[in-house]
A and B are shown apart, each in its own frame.
Chain A
Amino acid sequence: MPVNDGPVVAEIHDGSVAIGGRPILRGIDLSVRRGEVVALLGANGSGKSTLVRSLMGLVPLSRGEVALFGTPLSQFRAWRRIGFVPQRVSATSGVPASVWEVVSSGRLSRRPFLRPLRKADKAAVRNAIGAVGLTERAHDGCSTLSGGQQQRALIARALAGEPELFVLDEPTAGVDLQSQQAFADALAGLVEQGATIILVAHELGPMAALVDRTVVMRDGRIAYDGPPLASVEELEHGWADHGHHHPELQARYSDHTPTVASPIDAPPREQRP
C-alpha cells in the first residue's frame, strides 16, 4: 500500500449495523486518508453498500462510531465536502427533469437558501456535465437518456458540488462500456485534483487503473484490505483476466458469502477437476 499520511477523511471504528435485528456489519474498522482511491469489493449481501451508507449517516450504527473529516457524524454539518452517488439505476422520477436540473441539485449544499443559481454555480454545473460527456444532452429530459448516461448524470450531480470526498455506490452496475470509460475519465480528473474516492463495485472495469487500495467485504466483515485487486474473483482465482465464472465454484458458495478466506490462501484453481 502506498504510504499515505494525510489527514483521515472518513473513519469508522468498531462499526456494527443491524437491520431488522440481523447483524449486517460486524466490528468494522476502516479509515480512509486524503487522496486515497479505495475500492470496496464483495459479493451481494456482503455489506459493502451498508458500509458506505453508514458512513454517510443513512443507516444508523448499532455500535461504534463514524467520523467524517475528523468530526463525529452526529455533529458533522459540512456536507458540501461530500459528493454521494447512491446505488440506483435511474435518474428519472414521476415528472420529467432535464440533465441540467438534476445536476444542479448537486449545488444545493453550496447555494445560499432561497437564492437562484449564481455564476459560479452555473459554471460548476456546466463543468460537471462536461466532465461526464453529456454537454450535448444537458437540456434533454433524463428519461430520454440510456441507463449509462443516466448514471453519468448522477455522477455529474455529485461532481457539481465540488466535494473533497466522493462516495460512489455501484456506479457502473449495468452500465455500458462507453459510459464506464466516461466515468473512469471523470474520476481520473478528480484523482489528479487530489480528491478522495470510496468506490463500491462488483467489477472495476476501466476504473481499476485508478484504485490504489482495495477492501474486500465478506459476510459483514472486512476480509481483505490492501493493494489493488481487479475483482473479488482475482482473490478466488489468482488471475485477473479469467473472463468467466465457474458454475461449480458458485454452487459451492454459501447463501451470500464468497469463498474469500484471505489473500494468502492458495488460489482454489487446483481444487477444480
Chain B
Amino acid sequence: MSLLTYDFVVLALVAALFTGLAAPAVGTYLVQRRLALMGDGIGHIAVTGIALGLLTGTSPTITAVVVATLGAILIEVIREKGRANGDVALALLFYGGIAGGVLLIGLGGQSASTLNSYLFGSILSLSAVDVWTTVVLAVVVVVVAVGLSPQLFAVAQDQEFAKVAGLNVRFYNILVAVMAAVTVTIAMRTVGLLLVSALMVVPVATSQQLTRGFRSTLVTAMGLGTLASLGGVLVSAYVDVAPGATTVLIALAGFALAWPLGVMVRRRQRMQAPFAITPDGAYDGEHTVVPEEHAHEHGEDCGHLAVPHGDHVDYVHDGHRHAPHGSHYDEH
C-alpha cells in the first residue's frame, strides 16, 4: 500500500474512520424519531454558517458548527411545539439557510468553487488540525450516543413514558439535535453537506434490514458507516473519483444487497410464526379429517411448510393446514 506513505491519504483515512463511526450513531436516533431528513436540513442551514465564516474571515468550520447548532435547536423547538404544519416550518428554515448562505458567499466575493468544497467534501485536502478537530468531535459524539443510549432510546421511543420515568425529555431532544449539528459539520469536509445525511441514514436503513434489536442496529450501522467511508477514500485514492460520492454509493450498494435479504428473512419469519391457539381449543373440538387422498406423509423434508400450532405442528398444504392425527390428517 504505497499510497499510505502519503500524509494526506492517511489524514483522509483517519477523518473517514471517525466520521463513519459518528454519523450513523446519531443517524440511528434520527431514524428512530422518523426524522431521517433532519441531517439534510441541518446541512442546508450550515451553508449560512460557512458563508458567515468566509465573509468574516473566521474559520468556516466554527461558524458552521454554531449556526447549525442554533438551527437544530430551532427545529427541535418547532417540533416540540407540535404545530401541525411543523414540516413546512422546517422547510422554511432549510431553504432560508441555503439561500442565506449563497447570498452571503456572493457578498463576500467568493466563487462558487469555495462553496463546492463544503457542499461535496474535500477530504483529500484536510489539514492535520482539521483532522484532529474531526477526531475529537466525533469521539465526543460517539461516546454520548453510545453511553447515553438507554436514555436516548427511551426518549425517542416514547416521550411521555420517558417523562414519567423522570427523564428530562427536552434536554435529551436538544442533545440529539446538537449532536446531529456537530456531526453534520464534521462530515461536511469528508462527504460534503449535500451528502452527509446519506452517511447518517443509509447505514441505519441497511442494518435494520437484518437486525431485531436497537443496540445491534446501532452498532451494525456504525460498522457499515465506517466501512463505507473508508472504502470511499481508498477507492478515490486509486481511481480519480469524488470520495464523498463514492462513500455514499458504497453505502447505498450495501443497502441494495441487504434489502432483498431482509425481505426474505422477514417473509420467512412471518410464515413460520406459530398459528394462534384459540382459547377454547377449537382444534380438538371440531374434528375434520382431511377429505382428499393423501398420498404422502408430512414430515421433516416433505416440502410443506411446518408451522407450530400449540402442542403440535401443522403442515401448510395447498392453503390448508394439515395436522397429523394418528393414522390420518385433520384440517386445522
A residues neighboring B (CB under 8 Å): 53, 56-58, 77, 79-80, 82, 84-86, 88, 93-98, 100-102, 104-106, 108-109, 111, 114, 139-141, 144, 154, 157-158, 161, 167, 177-178, 181
Contact = CB atoms under 8 A, between A and B. Distances in A.
Contact of A157 (B28, B33, B161, B279): B161
Interface in B18-41: 28, 31-34, 36
Contacts of B276: 178
A144 B274 CA distance: 12
Interface stretch (B122-130, B144-152, B316-324): B144-152
Given A105-B153, A178-B279, A96 B217 contact: yes
A17 to B, nearest CB: 16
A161 B204 CA distance: 30
B220 to A, nearest CB: 11
Contact of A104 (B150, B161, B163, B270): B150
Given A79-B165, A157-B161, A93 B156 contact: yes
Nearest to A58: B160
Contacts of A154: 161
B212 interface: yes
A228 B266 CA distance: 45
Contact of B34 (A77, A93, A139): A93
Contacts of A108: 150-151, 154, 162, 165-167
B154 A95 contact: no
B224 to A, nearest CB: 14
Contact of B204 (A56, A93, A95): A95
A88 B212 contact: no
Contact of A106 (B163, B165, B208, B269): B165
A147 B187 CA distance: 40
Contacts of A82: 164
Given A95-B204, A105-B154, A140 B212 contact: yes
Instruction: Name the residue among A93, A98, A106, A161 with the largest chain B CB count within 10 angstroms.
Output: A93
A94 B204 CA distance: 10
Nearest to B149: A101
Instruction: Name the residue among A94, A97, A154, A167 with the largest chain B CB count within 10 angstroms.
Output: A94
B157 A102 contact: yes
A166 B150 CA distance: 22
A82 B167 CA distance: 13
Contact of A93 (B33, B36, B162): B33
B148 A95 contact: no
Given A84-B160, A140-B212, A177 B279 contact: yes
A94 B32 contact: yes
12 contacts: A57-B164, A86-B161, A95-B31, A95-B214, A97-B153, A98-B213, A101-B153, A102-B157, A105-B150, A105-B154, A108-B151, A161-B165
A97 B163 contact: no
B211 interface: yes
A139 B165 contact: no
A96 B214 contact: yes
Contact of B158 (A57, A86, A96): A86
Contact of A96 (B36, B154, B208, B279): B208
Contacts of A177: 279
A96 B208 CA distance: 7
A84 B204 contact: no
B328 interface: no
A196 to B, nearest CB: 15
A154 B158 CA distance: 10
Which 5 residue pairs are nearest across A and B when measured between Cβ atoms?
A79-B166, A105-B154, A84-B164, A98-B213, A141-B212
Contacts of A79: 164-166
B170 interface: no
A108 to B, nearest CB: 5
B215 interface: yes
B161 A98 contact: no
B269 A95 contact: no
Contacts of A161: 165
Nearest to B157: A93
B192 to A, nearest CB: 25
B331 to A, nearest CB: 22
Interface string B169-196: 0000000000000000000000000000
Contacts of A96: 208, 211-214, 217
Instruction: Name the residue among B153, B161, B163 with the largest chain A CB count within 10 angstroms.
Output: B161
B215 A101 contact: yes
Given A93-B32, A96-B211, A101-B215, 16 more contacts: A56-B164, A58-B160, A79-B166, A82-B164, A84-B164, A88-B158, A94-B33, A95-B204, A101-B153, A101-B214, A105-B165, A108-B150, A108-B151, A139-B212, A144-B269, A177-B279
